[in-house]
Amino acid sequence: MTFALHHVHLKTPDPEATAQFYIANFGATIKARPPGRGINLDLHGLQLNITNINADQNHEQHYGIEHIAVQTDDFDGTMATLRANGATVLEELSPGPGRQIAFIQCPDGAQMEVIKKV
């Protein structure tokens, strides 16, 4: 049996605002707008499905996700863009020689981790 990552699903009270956050700050692009099913984004090959709570699903649903990590070869430029866009930087760390990471607050409690490519 084999598995492949299909998508990450973010649930939010405002799918449009959440999608715009990932578009403006992390270069995501709109892949689809399924009728009544929010927005599907392409985050550099990772599909993000962004919806509200789905009334037709009976299991317990929650807003958000803990974090998604992206790697960049321009850490300083990425951080400057995030700050210029008003993103909240929760923490910046240098866990080892040449390594830099940062955690960014996203809508509805989710976070993005930005990792400097070394």
HSE at residue 88, side-chain half, CA atoms within 13 A, is: 8
HSE at residue 116, side-chain half, CA atoms within 13 A, is: 17
Q: Which tens digit of pLDDT belongs to each residue from 94-105? A: 877 888 999 999
Q: Domain extents for the chain?
A: 8-54+63-116
Question: Which CATH topology does 8-54+63-116 take?
Answer: 2,3-Dihydroxybiphenyl 1,2-Dioxygenase; domain 1 (3.10.180)
pLDDT value of position 37: 83
Q: Which tens digit of pLDDT belongs to each residue from 27-83? A: 999 999 988 889 999 999 999 999 988 887 788 888 888 788 889 999 999 999 999
Stated pTM of the model: 0.81
Give the Cα separation of 1 and 10 in Å (integer): 27
Give the Cα separation of 19 and 54 in Å (integer): 17
